[in-house]
Structure 1
Amino acid sequence: MGIKEWVVPQDRIFFDLLDRQAETVTQAAALLVDIVENYTDVKEKVRRMKDIEHAGDEITHEIYEHLNRTFITPLEPEEISRLASALDDILDYIDGTAQQMYMYSIPETDEAMVELAKLIQLSAVEVEGAVKGIRTIKDPKGIEERCIEVNRLENIADGVLGRAIRDLFTTKDAITIIKLKDVYENLEVATDKCEDAANTLSDIAIRHS
């Protein structure tokens, strides 16, 4: 990297990386929906999910590397770091839950898992759209609307989780209760992580508009 590239802010580098990271999250969320809706070839799908998670990790590391060597950044360094971390957290929970379903040998998925996975996917799409909006922040209201929608989806996920756990405790199989409760709760946490990313994006939009 030459002295010009080191001194002059390379907006495209950070925004391109964040766009790619958000796209990776959406890709993982789509695969999660496929897993719970078509619960076959689970081992292979979980392997693909791990590949996506590794790709996301590489993007996150690249963002931090650029932060460490770039003198001027298009956003505050802590904003970029927070957003990269929030996106990485979503991906970790999506991947972690898919791995958990396979390791727990969940025999079949159910309506609650499908609902939660779809809420994660919808949230990921909104987050991706908001991430792409911060490149220029020409439409801060549009970014904020996407963030509000993510918050709404997270509230719905809370309700789905509550009903799923209530129904789960009608069974007497303790092992099944433990396994499914873990899966439900981690799926819901993924929506929480989407909300964290949305809150970070909302703060960025407000601060730089």
Structure 2
Amino acid sequence: MGIKEWLIPQDKVFFDLFEQMAGIVVQAADKLEQMVTKKTEPESTYKEIKELEHRGDLITHEIYEHLNRTFITPLDPLEISRLASALDDVLDYIDDSAEKLFIYGIKDYDKTMQNFAQLIRLSTVQLQCGVKGIRSFRNSNPLESCGIEINRLENMADDLLSHAIQRLFALEDPMTTIKLKDIYECLETATDKCEDVANVLSDISIRHS
């Protein structure tokens, strides 16, 4: 603990809120994977993901409210804001993906959707590990390893999207092509947003280590 932290107690509630938010993101990703692997009923699962998204919004709002009334914070206010926004973006794109699957009336969830959902879930698990790691910067290795793995998973999602789009142009039904392309791109963007969180965590780690 530094001199400033010893002299002036810092509000650690931000770490609790970030961990709650990361936990909700993991839950939403898990439900998305259950949805596309047909382990749950699509409509009810979509509604559960939407509820998680609402809960995430409330936590994000609480983080900003707390930031506005806290003088001494454990992280730079801009870092807190960036991390809150990045986590919220991941949850938004998971929700958007589930919404597109439901609204477009997709009945047969193909292997590409299942692979994307798996990559998203694995990324959010790593993301959760990284978020827990910011409570202490004595050992940055866990944060670094989480970032490396999220980057690897995001690269896999890029390749998956590229191959999926290539296959779509072989379809004869243009409406199906449009729907699937939109879904695939939304799923891939969720992995991009996970990488954004990893980048924010990396910046925090570098600045405080």
TM over 0.5: yes
What displacement does 1:39 show?
Answer: 6.4
- What is the match of residue 182 of structure 2? 182
1:34-82: per-residue Cα shift (whole Å, max 9, x none)?
0010165211111111110001101000000000000010000000110
Pairing 1:20–2:13 present: no
Q: Which 5+ residue runs of structure 1 have no aligned equivalent?
A: 1-6
- CA contact under 8 A between 2:34 and 2:40: conserved in structure 1? no
TM-score, reference length from structure 2: 0.94
Pairing 1:170–2:170 present: yes
Aligned residues: CA RMSD = 1.0
- What is the match of residue 133 of structure 1? 133
Identity percentage over the alignment?
54
- Look up the equivalent residue of 1:50 and give its one-letter code: K
- What is the match of residue 32 of structure 2? 32
Distance in 2, Cα, partners of 1:40 & 1:89: 25
- What is the match of residue 10 of structure 1? 11
Between the two proteins, the alignment pairs up a number of residues equal to 202
Return closer, same or farther for 1:40/1:168 CA change in 2, 3 Å cut-off: farther
Distance in 1, Cα, partners of 2:53 & 2:41: 19
What displacement does 1:145 show?
Answer: 1.0
- Look up the equivalent residue of 1:20 and give its one-letter code: Q
Pairing 1:205–2:201 present: no
| Pairing of 1:1-209 with structure 2 (within 5 A) | 8-11=9-12, 13-38=13-38, 41-209=41-209
Q: Which runs of 4+ in 1 moved over 2 A?
A: none
- Look up the equivalent residue of 1:101 and give its one-letter code: L
- CA contact under 8 A between 2:143 and 2:202: conserved in structure 1? yes
- Look up the equivalent residue of 1:16 and give its one-letter code: D
- CA contact under 8 A between 1:39 and 1:108: conserved in structure 2? no
- CA contact under 8 A between 1:39 and 1:109: conserved in structure 2? no
Which 10-residue stretch deviates more, 134-143 or 108-117?
134-143
1:133-186: per-residue Cα shift (whole Å, max 9, x none)?
001123202201110110111000000001111111111100000000000000
What displacement does 1:8 show?
Answer: 3.8
Distance in 1, Cα, partners of 2:175 & 2:40: 22
TM-score, reference length from structure 1: 0.94
- Look up the equivalent residue of 2:10 and give its one-letter code: P
SS at match of 2:51: helix
Q: Which 5+ residue runs of structure 2 have no aligned equivalent?
A: 1-7
